[in-house]
Amino acid sequence: MSSAAATPSTPPVLGSLARIARFTAVMYKPHYLLYGVLWVLALEGTAALVSQPDSSWHPTASTVVRIVVVAFVLLYLRMVDEQKDLDYDRVHNPDRPLVTGAISANELRSAMTVIAVGAIAASLTLSIGSAVLIAAVLAYGLVLWGLENLSTTVRTDIVLNLAITYPVQLLVTAYVVVSAIGTGEVRSRWQAAAVAIIFAGAFLQFEFARKTSKSPRPGEMYYSNALGANGSATAALVCAAIAVFGDLALVRPWTYSGPQALIAWIPVVLLLIPATAASKFRRASTPDYPVLPAVLFILALYLVLIVQALVLT
């Protein structure tokens, strides 16, 4: 009997699951998961702090559900990106799993369907509003895919593309805040909605930083192609400042004293990270904007926001 005949073949379903797992390991790095966890905790905690400063905040079982849902929805959106960017990746990222055939589009779509059903079902245990908003996030990802397929301008104009794609982040923010209002961690006040400014600024400083270069990048989706290297670097720094001063306006650190005041003012110190990165970029001979400081800023800011939410009550 041949060895091929003696060894049973891998069932198709198990093979697909293995390929999806490998895709996740390659395209959904641990720092993406860390970002998702910190994002939900910082967002819920900050919304609680500024909407009901007289009450203490701490993560609950509902918070854990939101973290799990957001983590899987970020993976879903990564799967959408893998498919809608296929033509671009064939030229600029030929090692991507869908380009190399390490996974098929049908396998990604099957995984997306499972994630979508699970995310909506889990959110429904929190509230109807939670389920509606997470469904809106999932649907918006598909709408973006359709828009880029239909419009060359949307696909190739990076500034327009950002204006159209960023709202998916706002929808996730709305999901977390509205869900937390529904389960009682956050009070329904204008301050809870206003925290979106902090998280928009923090994310966009990273977005501009990771696609900024002094070298011309014809055909590549770089903000520096449209705004110039200095313009793109300045945009990253301005977004970081918006995040920090948005936090100051809502948390009002001048109303605290002692150790609490020190914690409340920490975000101002964190501005040194993007400011130093922008300064080095302008002086350095290396062409690309340093991405690590942008990552450090967003993670450090979210950690500080979590600490603020825990102690500034």
Q: What is the pLDDT of residues 179-196, one digit of tens each?
A: 999 999 999 999 999 999
181 and 205: one domain? no
Averaged pLDDT, 137-154 = 92
How many separate domains does the chain show? Answer: 2
Q: What is the pLDDT of residues 191-213, one digit of tens each?
A: 999 999 999 999 999 999 999 99
The predicted pLDDT at position 273 comes to 97
271 and 128: one domain? no
Averaged pLDDT, 269-280 = 96
Q: What is the pLDDT of residues 81-102, one digit of tens each?
A: 999 888 888 888 888 999 998 9
- 311 in any annotated domain: yes
202 and 164: one domain? no
174 and 201: one domain? no
Provide the CATH number for the domain around residue 184. Answer: 1.10.357.140
129 and 145: one domain? yes
**Which pTM does this prediction carry?**
0.91
Domain holding 167, by residue range, is 13-194
68 and 183: one domain? yes
60 and 181: one domain? yes
177 and 127: one domain? yes
186 and 203: one domain? no
Averaged pLDDT, 22-35 = 90
pLDDT at residue 303 tops 60: yes
pLDDT at residue 123 tops 80: yes
What are the phi and psi torsion angles at 288 (to 5°)? Answer: -95, 145
Q: What is the pLDDT of residues 247-260, one digit of tens each?
A: 999 999 999 999 99
